Amino acid sequence: MDQNPLLHTFDHPPFSKIENSHFKPAFEKSLKEARTEIHIIVDNIETPTFSNTIEALEFSGQKLGRISSIFFNLNSAETNTEIQKLAQEISPLLSEFSNDILLNANLFKKIKSVFKDKSNEDYSQEQIMLLEKIYKNFTRNGANLNQNDQNRLREIDMELSRTSLSFGENVLAETNNFELQVKDKSELDGIPDDIKESAKNLAEEKQKEGYIFTLDFPTFIPVMKFAENRELRKKLLLGFGSKGFKDNDYNNEKNVLNIVKLRLDRAHLLGYKSHADFVLQERMAKTVDTVHTFLDNILEKAIPSAVKELEELKAFAYEIDSIKDFKKWDKAYYTERLKQKKFDLNEEILKPYFELNRVIEGMFKVASKLYHLTFKKVSDLETYHEDVITYKVYDETNKYLATLYADFHPRAGKRDGAWMTIYKDQYRFNKKEERPQVSIVCNFTKPTKTKPSLLTFNEVTTLFHEFGHALHAINANTTYPSLSGASVYWDFVELPSQLMENWCYESEALKLFARHYQTNEILPTKYIEKIKESSNFMEGLQTTRQVSFGKLDLAWHAMESMNSIDKVKDKEDLAFKDIELLPDIESTCMSTAFGHIFQGGYSSGYYSYKWAEVLDADAFEYFKEKGIFNDEVAKKFRDNVLQLGGTVEPMALYKQFRGKEPNPNALLKRAGLIKS
User: Cβ of residue 490: shortest distance to Zn ion, in angstroms?
Assistant: 11
Distances (CA, A) of 269 to 10, 257, 352, 528: 45, 18, 58, 54
Q: How far is the C-alpha of 200 from the C-alpha of 197, rounded, in Å? A: 5
User: DSSP letters along 170-197, please?
Assistant: HHHHHHHH--EEE--GGGGTTS-HHHHH
Closest CB to Zn ion among residues 75, 497: 497
Q: H or E element: which one contains 405?
A: strand 400-407
For the chain, the C-alpha Rg in angstroms (whole number) is 26
Q: C-alpha distances in angstroms, 495 versus 120, 216, 491, 508, 673?
A: 35, 30, 8, 22, 21
Helices (H), 227-350: 230-241, 253-269, 275-280, 288-321, 328-343, 347-350
Q: Least separation, in Å, of the C-beta of 494 and Zn ion?
A: 5
CB of 417 vs Zn ion, minimal distance in Å: 10
Which residues are known to be catalytic?
A: 466
The residue at minimum Cβ distance from Zn ion is 497
Q: Comparing C-alpha atoms, which of 128, 102, 114, 137 is closest to residue 53?
A: 114
Question: Which is closer to Zn ion, CB of 104 or CB of 497?
Answer: 497
Which 608-637 residues touch Zn ion, going by CB under 5 A? none
**Which residues make beta-bridge pairs with 502?**
none
Shortest distance in whole angstroms from residue 277 CB to Zn ion = 26
Binding footprint of Zn ion, residue count (CB under 5 A): 1
Each as own residue / partner, the long-range contacts of residues 313-320 (CB below 8 Å, 24 or more positions apart, any chain) are 313/338, 313/538
**DSSP code per residue over 629-674:** T-HHHHHHIIIIIITTTTSS-HHHHHHHHHSS---THHHHHHTTSS
Q: Which residues contact 96 (CB under 8 A, 6 or more apart)?
A: none
Q: Which of 495, 579 has the CB closer to Zn ion?
A: 495
Binding mask 440-479 for Zn ion (x = CB under 5 A): ----------------------------------------
Length of the chain: 676
275 vs 660: CA distance, rounded Å: 30
**Helix axes of 650-658 and 608-626: crossing angle, nearest 10 degrees:** 20
The smaller minimum CB distance to Zn ion, of residues 496 and 662, is found at 496
Q: Which residues contact 109 (CB under 8 A, 6 or more apart)?
A: none
Give min distance, CB of 273 to Zn ion, in A.
31
Closer residue to Zn ion (CB): 63 or 472:
472
Q: How far is the CB of 631 from Zn ion (least distance, A)?
A: 26
Mask of contacts with Zn ion, 480-519, x by CB under 5 A? -----------------x----------------------
Quick one: 68 or 497, whose CB is closer to Zn ion?
A: 497
* Shorter beta-carbon distance to Zn ion: residue 317 or 500: 500
- Minimum CB–partner distance for residue 495 and Zn ion (Å): 10
Q: Which is nearer to Zn ion, 309 or 616 (CB)?
A: 616
Q: Per 3-state DSSP, what percentage of the chain is helix, strand, and coil (rounded to 5)?
A: 60, 5, 35
DSSP-derived letter for residue 498 is H
**Which one, of 656, 660, 658, lies nearest residue 648 by Cα?**
656
Smallest gap from residue 465 Cβ to Zn ion (A): 6
Q: Nearest Cα to 319, choosing from 347, 286, 341, 294?
A: 341
Could you list the residues that contact Zn ion (CB under 5 A)? Answer: 497
